[in-house]
Amino acid sequence: MVFENRRDAGRLLADLLLPLAEERPIVLALPRGGVPVAVEVARALDAPLDLLTVRKLGAPENPELGMGAVAEDGTAVVDTVMARRIGMTQEDFDRILDSELRELGRRIERFRDGRPPLDVRDRTVILVDDGLATGLTDLAAVRALRRRGAGRIVVAVPVGSREAVAMLRGAADEVVCHTIPRDLVGVGRWYRDFSQVSDDEVLALLAEAGVPVPPPAADPPAGEPAGQLMIDLGSVRLYGDLAVPPDAHGLVIFSHGSGSSRLSPRNRMVARRLEDAGLATLLFDLLAEHEEGRRDLVFDIPLLAGRLDAVTSWARQSPSTRGLPIGYFGASTGAAAALRAAAALGDGVRAVVSRGGRPDMAADRLPEVRAATLLIVGSLDRDVLELNRRAAELLRCPHRVEVVEGAGHLFEEPGTLEAVAGLAMHWFLAHLPATALPLTGAAGV
């Protein structure tokens, strides 16, 4: 089963939950991805809707590897076996927990603006998410609801792994899962549209469901807010995060894809590895916040490439990055935008690295790319791997297709994202500095 999008999944899930309507339940969504699903469930059951905010606790060097989760009331769960396996220390855990609690506070303030949560005491609560991978975030939510006195807890998801469903059946009173595949691979693989849900979209969905929401946030003032820079392209303002280590060897500009943003934990993990190697990094939002809900823009490769081109021009003029050789790191549709922009800029871009990218979406411009190009694909991502191999045949620049064994499309498997970061670091260090370092292996596929 592949769902069209989260709202389609919510409608299908609601059909399974209709018998619960007579219990007059409360529907709680796990933001952000669970909100579009929950809106459809609440509508079908004529039930009140609210949020229960939970954050995943990622591994120290791989934020995508879930080690646990923490709910908005501080209820935390940890996979102690996995934590011991990777050598997580108490100091690591405290640092990660503190960071995620701050983000929880930000989201609660943004979504509720002081409004108290619904009283769940002695009520049937349907806890809705867009899918279960490890199930740890939902487990933290279930335990938080127990502490709040919920009478009966039903976890409801469109798709989930067998292991996560089994675990939650031991914690909740009931688990309703529309599809339990033999091999989940990743929740996003079961949706045709699994684009990121923005804060503004959450607020719009809540308003649609009749939930009181705070007024729209004012646009950030012109300039560079603390910890964030603003790039004014005239028609749109884009926000980014720039890190420039001392004596930087070059600048890597990240090109996010599939509705992601500069806050992508995968790309931020890669960026930290590059920064440790002496490379400056710029992660910025290709789309403005008011555009994030438009799915058509995610696939508008010429638009995304044009914005990447404009941000590159900004970086060349900025005092902190002027003169640094430039490379692009692209993911998904962002990789197509990176290659298209590299083709337009010629020698102005020295290297491109694609992670699980779609270079085929820039096929007409690939022969024009001069930048040394590394295409990284997971061995389990077979369709995308074949697309990358075909796209590589169109490249005339030094290039290589690198296959990470045991990795899926999102590189969620243990150690796979670290492999991506290592490959990217060596590729950029080999091609960005004025004096290139020796490159292991010959260029080519």
User: Are 413 and 379 found together in one domain?
Assistant: yes
User: Are 166 and 236 found together in one domain?
Assistant: no
Residue-level pLDDT at 7: 95
Q: Is residue 218 part of a domain?
A: no
User: Are 32 and 166 found together in one domain?
Assistant: yes
CA geometry: angle at 396 spanning 394 and 401, to 5°?
65
pLDDT higher than 80, residue 233? no
Q: Which range in 94-103, 337-346, 410-419 is most confidently predicted, on average pLDDT?
A: 337-346
CATH number of the domain residue 386 falls in: 3.40.50.1820
User: Are 96 and 191 found together in one domain?
Assistant: yes
User: Are 341 and 385 found together in one domain?
Assistant: yes
CATH number of the domain residue 46 falls in: 3.40.50.2020
pLDDT higher than 70, residue 216? no
Residue-level pLDDT at 106: 80
Q: Say how many domains are in the chain.
A: 2
pLDDT (tens digit per residue) in 272-314: 889 989 999 998 877 765 555 555 555 678 888 888 888 898 8
Q: Is residue 436 part of a domain?
A: no
417 near 329, Cβ under 8 Å? no
Portion of the chain with pLDDT greater than 70, in percent: 87
pLDDT higher than 70, residue 419? yes
User: Are 328 and 408 found together in one domain?
Assistant: yes
User: Are 121 and 192 found together in one domain?
Assistant: yes
264 near 200, Cβ under 8 Å? no
pLDDT (tens digit per residue) in 389-407: 999 999 999 999 999 999 8
Find the domain containing 18 and state its range: 6-208
Residue-level pLDDT at 367: 95
Question: At 179, is the pLDDT very low, low, confident or very high (cuts 50, 70, 90)?
Answer: very high
Residue-level pLDDT at 114: 75
CA 29 – CA 81 distance, rounded (Å) = 29
CA 38 – CA 176 distance, rounded (Å) = 13
Q: What letter would DSSP give residue 317?
A: H
334 near 356, Cβ under 8 Å? no
User: Are 236 and 154 found together in one domain?
Assistant: no
Q: Which range in 73-82, 140-149, 221-230, 243-252 is most confidently predicted, on average pLDDT?
A: 140-149
- 439 versus 8: the higher-pLDDT residue is 8
Domain boundary among 177, 208, 239: 208
CA 18 – CA 176 distance, rounded (Å) = 11
As a whole number, the mean pLDDT across the chain is 85
pLDDT higher than 90, residue 226? no
Q: DSSP string of 12-45?
A: HHHHHHGGGGGG--EEEE-TTTHHHHHHHHHHHH
Residue-level pLDDT at 443: 31
Residue-level pLDDT at 27: 97
Q: What letter would DSSP give residue 246?
A: T
Domain boundary among 208, 243, 274: 208
- 259 versus 178: the higher-pLDDT residue is 178
Mean pLDDT check: name the lowest of 24-38, 165-179, 323-337.
323-337
The stretch 144-161 carries a mean pLDDT of 96
* Of the candidates 312, 349, 363, 355, the residue with the CA atom closest to the CA atom of residue 335: 355
Question: At 145, is the pLDDT very low, low, confident or very high (cuts 50, 70, 90)?
Answer: very high
Mean pLDDT check: name the lowest of 105-109, 396-400, 431-435.
431-435
Q: Is residue 442 part of a domain?
A: no
The residues near 151 (Cβ < 8 Å, ≥ 6 apart) are 120, 121, 122, 123, 124, 125
- pTM here? 0.53
- Cβ neighbour number for residue 274 with a 10 Å cutoff: 27
Task: List Cα–Cα distances, 29 to 117, 125, 323, 351, in angstroms.
Answer: 12, 10, 48, 42
pLDDT higher than 80, residue 421? yes
User: Are 200 and 295 found together in one domain?
Assistant: no
Domain boundary among 208, 240, 270: 208
Plot region of 377 (φ>0 → left; ψ -120 to 50 → alpha; else → beta): beta
Question: At 444, is the pLDDT very low, low, confident or very high (cuts 50, 70, 90)?
Answer: very low
CA 270 – CA 254 distance, rounded (Å) = 10
Residue 200 C-alpha from the chain's centroid: 16
Q: Is residue 197 part of a domain?
A: yes
Q: Is residue 28 part of a domain?
A: yes
Residue 37 C-alpha from the chain's centroid: 18
The stretch 230-252 carries a mean pLDDT of 81
The stretch 148-154 carries a mean pLDDT of 96
pLDDT higher than 60, residue 95? yes
The stretch 125-148 carries a mean pLDDT of 95
- 421 versus 63: the higher-pLDDT residue is 421
The stretch 327-335 carries a mean pLDDT of 91
CA 176 – CA 154 distance, rounded (Å) = 7
User: Are 43 and 146 found together in one domain?
Assistant: yes
The stretch 415-425 carries a mean pLDDT of 91
pLDDT higher than 50, residue 91? yes
Question: At 260, is the pLDDT very low, low, confident or very high (cuts 50, 70, 90)?
Answer: low
Q: Is residue 217 part of a domain?
A: no
User: Are 299 and 411 found together in one domain?
Assistant: yes
Q: Taking each helix axis from N to C terminus, what angle separates 416-431 and 265-276, rounded to the nearest 10 degrees? A: 50
How close are the terminal C-alpha atoms of the chain, in Å?
35
CA 374 – CA 342 distance, rounded (Å) = 13
Portion of the chain with pLDDT greater than 90, in percent: 47
User: Are 202 and 245 found together in one domain?
Assistant: no
Q: Is residue 285 part of a domain?
A: yes
Residue-level pLDDT at 149: 95
Q: Quick check: bond before 32 cis, omega within 30?
A: yes
Which residue's structure tokens are 């969504």? Answer: 29
Q: Is residue 349 part of a domain?
A: yes
